[in-house]
Amino acid sequence: MEERVKSFSDLHQNQQPLPPPPPPQASFPIATSQGTYIVQVPKTQIYRVPPPENALIVERHLNPVNQKNPRWSFLFWFFIVVAIVVVVVGICAAIIYFSINPKSPTFVVSKVIVQNQNSHNHLSDPPQYHITLSSENPNEGMGIIYQDGGSSKLSFKQKEIATGKPPSLYQGNKDIKAIRFDLTGLNVVLPHEIIKSMKGGGNNASKKASVSLSLSVNVPVKMKIAFIKSWNMNMAITCNFRVSSLAKDIHVLSEDCHTKL
């Protein structure tokens, strides 16, 4: 039998193409006798190892830690307690205040003194007016605290001639106290009647020297019941009075005071 020798080119043409290699797959874990598993990872697969910072972030989310400063926490609760105490005290004061129904104190003009009567010629210090009111607190078990920050004015026929500030003091329950208001004359031309009254009136002094004046006072006050004080309230005092003169030995001929609280 005659054999045919195949050339290299014929072999190459008749050769079938090889199939592509199967994709690399992770082999199944192989169990060992000790109960452990071995996982084989192909070299073509590369796994990225996360940085340690990521583990810290995850741990913070899983186990949140209270990072608040204990000092601020103490101050927060301290102010909460103080606010509650203030509110409770205020409510108690309001209940006691409205249950007792406080009355306004009464005032009476008891004494008037004028200094520097000759200052109307603008050559010396302005006149100084000292008006004393007798005040009575009619409330039982409730004192009155007269605070700073008020104002007082003396007027003649609705024209201001002097201003001042009322004093600060405490008046107990059922207490009668003399309160003096010091006023300084304004740098204005005094009315003719005031100048004549300061000079004593001349002839027929008892008739020509007497003048009518008006004292207006606004003063912030607080009511005090035991150790509890009320909120700030404004007290308005108005006294209309007539004096014999504005010279020496002044006598109060008539007076009428009203108080609004």
CA-angle at 225, arms to 219 and 229, nearest 5°: 55
Residue ranges per domain, the chain?
Answer: 74-101, 106-200+208-260
Share of the chain above pLDDT 70, in %: 67
Closest residue by Cα to residue 150 from 138, 163, 159: 163
Residue 239 in this model has a pLDDT that exceeds 90: yes
Angle at 252 between CA 250 and CA 240, to 5 degrees: 125
| Per-residue pLDDT at 214 | 98
* 127 has pLDDT over 60: yes
For 106-200+208-260, give the CATH class: mainly beta
As a whole-number percent, the residues of the chain with pLDDT over 90 amount to: 44
pLDDT in tens, 148-204: 999 999 999 999 999 999 999 999 999 999 999 999 999 888 999 999 998 876 555
pTM for the predicted model, two decimal places: 0.63
26-30, 61-65, 213-217, 240-244, range with the lowest pLDDT: 26-30
Q: Examine the pLDDT at 8 and tell me if it is beyond 50.
A: no
d(CA 222, CA 219): 10
